[in-house]
Structure 1
Amino acid sequence: MADTSPAPRTLAVVAAEFIGTFWLVLGGCGTAVFAAVQVAQADTLDIPVGVGYLGVAIAFGLTVVTGAYAVAHISGAHFNPAVSVGAAVAGRLPWAQVPVYLISQVIGGLVAGAVIFVVASGKDGFSATGNMAANGYGAHSPDGYSLVSALIIEIILSAIFIWVILGVTDRRAPAGFAPLGIGLTLTLIHLISIPITNTSVNPARSTAVAFFNGDGAPGQLWMFWVAPLVGAAIAGVLYGPLFGEKSRTPVPA
């Protein structure tokens, strides 16, 4: 018989959330750092060959799809403090478990950020300052969007992201397709907001690279915790009253 005692289950959740968040940051931020902007030379002409915004958006979506299929049956595949808080607000996750999720996610993201930093530093001329796929607003926004613009878009997109997650994991939803729905949503979210904030909707992803990036990112990190958590709380509060709460897996007592 499988061991269902609390300690082994907690260890499995920690491992799943750590590895899943590590994969999300490595796959998404790593693509942004290593592959978003590349230039090839042909007859002295510089030709851009990087994946650009579209490639980065797809990379983030793919990390969620693959990670969720791998460990959703273990931890729910949150990989994001906003998802865990939204699930708790909606009654899908006991609040007592939320710290385990958040700590695992933040540490997993930071380890991935360190790996990106070490690998990127192996290239001659690389400077981490301003080049670690950090989130930002104002002067640190990719296209110069203000704090107000960043707050609005991050709250709205975080709420929509959690709303989709709650919807595709509702027991009335088609089984087996949740990771695809979540991954495609995250891809679309990035297509909308990379120019505005470099897209967070995930405090662990933002924390993972902010301190390696420097250049104002640590000082702006507060916004990329507040906005996703506010959006998550909105979605968590409204999902049940609007759509009727039907979790596929009963919340443990």
Structure 2
Amino acid sequence: MLGVYVSGTSGSHINPAVTFANCVLRKFPWRKWPVYAVSQLLGGMCAAAIIYGNYKSAIDVYEGGRNMRTVPGYSDTATGGIFCTYPAEFMTRTGHFFSEFIASAILMFVIFALNDEGNLGAGPFTPLALFFTIFGIGACFGWETGYAINLARDFGPRLVSYMIGYGPEVWRAGNYYFWVPIVAPFLGCTFGGWLYDMFLYVGADSPVNTPYLGLPRLIGLPVRKPHEGSQSCV
């Protein structure tokens, strides 16, 4: 919530998957996506480094030594979960993906709803509403996989944990689970945003509200405009 308030001048983008969905469905400039994504990733990495620097002494004691750094599933005193998400032991690879996909879809659906002034809209209370949204997602879907619905929040700190000595297990844990929080949020956010536009949104900036559900626009084909005096079907 506080991150959204702080980053308001840039559009409150703190999640690469949300930015991606806005590029696909809200005409957010594609040229800005790489800059936003890299900035978000570096922010997550910096935050993880600060946390490690602050708690290094406590981690040394809990893990059993300065050179002991373990991740969940490899030790009873693992601290790798401080930095990034690791799935519950009973989760299958399909379960990993489905959980993150659904959580991301819910997130994007609600974000579009909160920003839709043609519906109800949350206005300046959008960050507070997002707090309750993500709290709810965590309560309902977080136990199994840590609801890693943000690449910057998961991959960035995971990379930092690898760099500071947690070893290759940060990639191997959970049957190489690390790729799920990278891929699933992009697909889930795009799908959730598409659902909102398909059934609720009426704004012309969404490709869903253009001829053929925006497919010509997506692949760069020209769309023939209706003759003057005729009525469009959208």
Distance 2:2 2:54 in 1: 23
* One-letter amino acid matched to 2:39: S
- Corresponding position of 1:222: 179
**Residues 167/70 of structure 1: CA separation in 2 closer, same or farther (3 Å cut):** same
- Corresponding position of 1:23: none
* One-letter amino acid matched to 2:14: F
Q: Deviations over 1:64-113 (max 9, x none)?
A: x12222322x1121211111111111125111111111000001101111
Distance 1:247 1:200 in 2: 32
**Residues 247/174 of structure 1: CA separation in 2 closer, same or farther (3 Å cut):** farther
- Corresponding position of 1:243: 200
For this pair of structures, how many residues does the alignment match?
Answer: 179
Preserved contact between residue 163 and residue 236 of structure 1 (Cα < 8 Å): yes
Matches within 5 A, 1:1-150: 65-72=1-8, 74-123=9-58, 124-127=60-63, 128-130=69-71, 131-133=79-81, 134-136=84-86, 141-150=87-96
In the superposition, the TM-score normalised over structure 2's length comes to: 0.69
User: Which is worse superposed, 74-83 or 215-224?
Assistant: 215-224
- Corresponding position of 2:229: none
Aligned pair partner of 2:115 in 157, 163, 169:
169
Q: Deviations over 1:132-156 (max 9, x none)?
A: 32223xxxx2353111111111001
- Corresponding position of 2:189: 232
Q: CA deviation at 1:242?
A: 1.7
Distance 1:245 1:67 in 2: 29
Gap regions ≥5 residues in structure 2: 64-68, 72-78, 206-234
Preserved contact between residue 122 and residue 129 of structure 2 (Cα < 8 Å): no
* 2:128 is the alignment partner of 1:187: no
**Residues 204/245 of structure 1: CA separation in 2 closer, same or farther (3 Å cut):** farther
Preserved contact between residue 90 and residue 239 of structure 1 (Cα < 8 Å): no
Distance 2:26 2:113 in 1: 13
Q: CA deviation at 1:125?
A: 1.7
**Residues 246/181 of structure 1: CA separation in 2 closer, same or farther (3 Å cut):** farther
In the superposition, the TM-score normalised over structure 1's length comes to: 0.65
Distance 1:214 1:76 in 2: 36
CA RMSD of aligned residues (A): 2.1
**Residues 174/247 of structure 1: CA separation in 2 closer, same or farther (3 Å cut):** farther
Q: CA deviation at 1:241?
A: 2.5
Q: CA deviation at 1:215?
A: 6.1
Preserved contact between residue 103 and residue 147 of structure 2 (Cα < 8 Å): no
**Residues 157/188 of structure 1: CA separation in 2 closer, same or farther (3 Å cut):** same
- Corresponding position of 1:210: 158
**Residues 238/94 of structure 1: CA separation in 2 closer, same or farther (3 Å cut):** farther
Preserved contact between residue 88 and residue 236 of structure 1 (Cα < 8 Å): no
**Residues 247/119 of structure 1: CA separation in 2 closer, same or farther (3 Å cut):** farther
- SS of match in other structure, 1:79: coil
Max Rg structure: 2
Distance 1:143 1:191 in 2: 19
Aligned pair partner of 2:146 in 171, 189, 198:
198
Gap regions ≥5 residues in structure 1: 1-64, 249-253
Preserved contact between residue 142 and residue 196 of structure 1 (Cα < 8 Å): yes
Q: CA deviation at 1:244?
A: 2.0
